[in-house]
Amino acid sequence: MNVYFRIIKYVRPYLVYLVGSMVAILFFTIFSSATLVSVIPFLKTIFQVERTTAVSSVPAANTQSQVLSVPGKAGGLTSKLTSTRKRLMKKLDDFFIGKDRQKALERICILILVIVFFKNFFDYIQAYLMAFVEQGVVKDIRNDLYGKIITMPISFFSRSKTGTLISRVTNDVNLVNGGISASFVTIIKNPLLIVIYLALAIYLSWQLTLIALTVLPFSLLIITNIGLRLRKQSTDSQEKMAEVTTILQETISGARAVKAFAMETFEINNFKQRTLNYFRTLLKITRTRRLASPITEFLGAGVAVLILWFGGQKVLTGTMLPPENFLAFLFVIFSLMQPVKELGTVNNRIQEAISAGIRIFSILDLQGEVVNTPNPVVVSDFKKSVVFENVSFSYEGDIFVLKGVSLQVNKGEVLAIVGPSGVGKTTLIDLIPRFYDPTDGKVTLDGHDLRELELKSLRRLMGIVTQETILFNETVRNNIAYGMKDVPLSEVIKVAKAANAHYFIEKLPKGYDTLIGERGVKLSGGERQRLAIARALLKNPPILILDEATSALDTESEVLVQSAIERLMTNRTVFVIAHRLSTIQNATKIIVLEKGRIAQQGTHEELLNRKGTYRRLYKLQFILQSQKMAADV
């Protein structure tokens, strides 16, 4: 139940609305019971003549007071209760009915109309205020969950399915909403109704009420068992929904690959199988969830039939209740069944909310591997150097991607990193903005261990352009000025020109106000890359990280992007991973990684004059480029 109480804590900011809803529920309950009470004088008005005749024909020995009189203290108490009830009934009769039955009928009808109006008025008020509380809680949980996810380190996203995370933020939070409603509406409103209805039933006939209560223990046993089964099934259902969301996200974002390999049929069948699995879990939940209500209602109907048979006989003989009171009792008992049925669903909804809460809090309770230390150092500028001191790194704790890497890059230098795929090039530069922390050793900036620096201030010093350009479904202007508010359009245009992007932007339907689609799908690869460079130029960082920024471009786009990159690199400290060695000939220093270690380092000319990986890779690329040029001719 700790998870459930954590969910309930989210209600605190909305206590005023919650209290208002509870007050409205109280008034709703009062007017709801008054609706039933108002039936009694109505029935008495209608049956007054018949009742007088019936009672006069029944022997005195069979009157209710004599039937209920038993020897001893219990009999005396029963007699007192009966006497009190008679006096109260007489006062009600005098107030509602009086001597003129015609006017009494008019008064009662008007009264019923007024009562029903206020009953529904307060029902509306409580529903609106409770919806404010419920949706506010859902909003806050969703915001906290998104805030936690978006601040988690890169390693979290590499091991988490996107569809699963989306399912947590959408489907699981919606289930929590049902638990909030159950806690404060169903679990308060319906018990109040039940208590008042029971009080009315006991007032009318405690014997028949005892018969009606025989169903309660059986209902509680059934409801508890169903709730336990429902929690497990709810967990399974949400996992299946996460699988559906994952496939949906992957195939939509990877639609080009799906079509390129003609895998539409395969993906459709795969999606159908996942939705079928989800469909089956929903059926299980429906079967379980819907059991409580019909079973409770069936047991209640059995009790009602027993009351009709037993009570009806007593009414016919005039030994227990007058007809109007018996009919009122039936109204009360049948009205009692609805809140009992709704109360039967409370445990199910709470169990579903707990199941969803466990999955939500499993994310909210995660501790990021990369976090600020207490009292971190805030940096505003880069002055001297970035140093790697005997750095080793492992993703899983056993296989090391980097092993004992030591190097120094001074301000204004350009470090190029080359090597075969999988040797740790991207991992090495990911340590600089602290996407990861070293397993062993340390990385320093101007003598400070990066782990001592405030993350935001550290990353403000850096601009990153990668092979996979990340753009958003926003305007060109907002993508370039991402993270920066109130940037004049003139500044955006200036950096776009420097990035060789202004020319193609002007040709777009709305220029800088054109929406570029999700991940910039409306632009070519070269155009997306130039927008990313313009974004980095506008940020104007002292440290620049380029991760194979031109490797996926055609020759014409590469020329334009390379020209923009050269402008971007001016007067900056640059870390560049280069797939094409011809683009790094002017680097201050080049390091060659092999098996996670620095195998070679030096300038382009120095490395060409040495035997080793760099010279072999360069010659291989030169031969391939010559063959391509010859083929083009």
The confidence score (pLDDT) of residue 60 equals 39
**Residue 299 φ then ψ, to 5°:** -65, -40
Question: pLDDT digits over 495-511, tens only?
Answer: 888 888 888 888 888 88
Percentages helix, strand, coil for the chain (3-state, rounded to 5) are 70, 10, 20
**Residue 319 φ then ψ, to 5°:** -100, -5
The confidence score (pLDDT) of residue 392 equals 92
Residue whose token pair is 């609305």: 17
The confidence score (pLDDT) of residue 66 equals 40
- Tell which phi-psi region holds residue 170, choosing left (phi > 0), alpha (psi between -120 and 50) or beta: alpha
Fold: same for 379-455+544-552+573-633 and 462-540: yes
Half-sphere exposure of 565 (CA within 13 A, CB side): 28
Residue 29: name the closest of 347, 304, 335, 344 by CA.
335
The β-bridge relationship of strands 573-577 and 440-445 is unpaired
Report the chain (633 residues): mean pLDDT per 10 consecutive residues. 81 90 87 73 57 41 40 54 62 59 72 86 89 88 88 79 81 80 73 79 76 65 64 72 76 68 78 85 75 66 70 65 70 72 70 82 81 86 92 82 91 88 88 90 92 90 81 86 84 87 88 82 81 85 80 62 76 83 80 90 88 82 58 51
CATH placement of domain 2-364? 1.20.1560.10
Rounded CA-CA distance 287/237 in Å is: 13
Residue 631 CA from chain centroid, whole number: 56
- Residue 231 is which amino acid? R
Rounded CA-CA distance 347/186 in Å is: 10
Residue 150: name the closest of 358, 363, 6 by CA.
363
Q: In this structure, which topology does domain 462-540 adopt according to CATH?
A: Rossmann fold (3.40.50)
**Residue 448 φ then ψ, to 5°:** -95, 130
Long-range contacts at 373-376 (CB < 8 A, ≥ 24 apart): 373/451, 373/452, 376/452, 376/453, 376/454, 376/455
Question: Is-contact 551 579, C-beta < 8 A?
Answer: yes
**Residue 554 φ then ψ, to 5°:** -75, 170
The confidence score (pLDDT) of residue 78 equals 55
CATH class, domain 379-455+544-552+573-633, is alpha beta
Residue 247: name the closest of 265, 266, 274 by CA.
274
Break the chain into its structural domains and give their ranges: 2-364, 379-455+544-552+573-633, 462-540
Query: Where in 10-49 does DSSP place strands (E)?
Result: none
